[in-house]
Amino acid sequence: MGREMRINSSTTVIVTGGSKGIGKGIAKAFAAKGAQVHTVSRSRPEGIDDEMLNTGASSHRFWPVDLTTYEGAKGFFDAFSSEVGTPDVLINNAGQLTGGLLEEQPPEKIFSMLQVNLTTLILLTRFFLPAMLERRSGKIVNNASVSGKMFFPCASTYAASKAGVVGFTESLKQELRDTGVSTLLLITAGVKTEMYDEIHDLYGGHLDLDFLKSIPVAEWSEKVLEAIESDQDTLWPPGSSRVGVNLAHHLPGVFEGFISKKFHR
């Protein structure tokens, strides 16, 4: 960890996937601190400008970007750098969910998910990092998941993307030591969003999900904001989700035994 960050009206933050769910919750948490908020998503949600400004943002701009393509990511970086500059905080939150038995997952959805969850996350970090390093300040926040640490059946492709986010962020953290730029890895647990509700549709046919628990978006968003302000490098999930992550890491055989009883073809 390095310097603590005071979020105020001079703080510029980018939140990808900021039109709904966790991303919107984090954007609103920044808005409540008076930050200059930039949300990125494929389509503009109705009333998002008013919602962010009424929450307290000193300014808000929505950027319509297709994050499944290189051209979308590079075009956004070029436009933002030219028109705004360098963000103080880059939150790589945009994500898609895949699930089910691998042989039943649509290949085009796997490809799209990997592009958004991992490839574009890496690219946006790569694009914005040089200016942050030159300025010697910045925070890069990458949203992984407990699925990047806990490997469930029916989550093969999604877990691959999130394990990639974990590996990328942990490696980058080492590279950035003493540069003034730091990372925050979000080991996000079940947060009550539309995507969370999709888990039951995608996984429930082969996996008993009675062990799943969720927390409200606002609660997790406040934890993310606190972790950024105190310059933490990892935000772990609360409660039983943290226990599950520890179990999967330290006692993988016990974890696999538990999960195997929940799975059926």
Determine, yes or no, domain membership for 3.
no
79-114: per-residue pLDDT in tens? 999 999 999 999 999 999 999 999 999 999 999 999
Q: What is the spatial order of strands in the sheet that 89-92 belongs to?
A: 59-64, 36-41, 12-16, 89-92, 138-143, 181-186, 234-235
Question: If pLDDT is split at 50, 70 and 90, which confidence band does 20 have?
Answer: very high
Determine, yes or no, domain membership for 2.
no
Question: If pLDDT is split at 50, 70 and 90, which confidence band does 2 have?
Answer: low
Supply the range of the domain harboring residue 22: 12-260
Q: How many CA atoms lie within 13 A of 19 on its CB side?
A: 15
| Residue 68 CB neighbours (<10 A) | 19
| Residue 51 CB neighbours (<10 A) | 16
191: left (phi over 0), alpha (psi -120 to 50) or beta: beta
The alpha carbon of 178 is separated from its chain's Cα centroid by a whole number of angstroms, namely 24
Rounded to whole angstroms, the Cα distance separating 258 from 265 reads 16
CB 72 within 8 A of CB 124: no
CB 242 within 8 A of CB 234: no
Domain count, the chain: 1
CB 159 within 8 A of CB 102: no
pLDDT computed for residue 188 by the predictor: 92
Q: What is the CATH number of the domain that holds 183?
A: 3.40.50.720
Rounded to whole angstroms, the Cα distance separating 39 from 137 reads 21
Determine, yes or no, domain membership for 1.
no
Low-confidence winner among 31-45, 157-171, 183-197, 223-237 (lowest mean pLDDT): 183-197
Determine, yes or no, domain membership for 265.
no
Burial 31-44 (b: 16+ CB within 10 A, else e): bbbbbbbbbbbeee
pLDDT computed for residue 47 by the predictor: 94
Determine, yes or no, domain membership for 104.
yes
Q: Which residues are catalytic?
A: 158
pLDDT computed for residue 194 by the predictor: 84
**Average pLDDT estimate for 180-193:** 94
Rounded to whole angstroms, the Cα distance separating 19 from 197 reads 17
**Average pLDDT estimate for 139-147:** 96
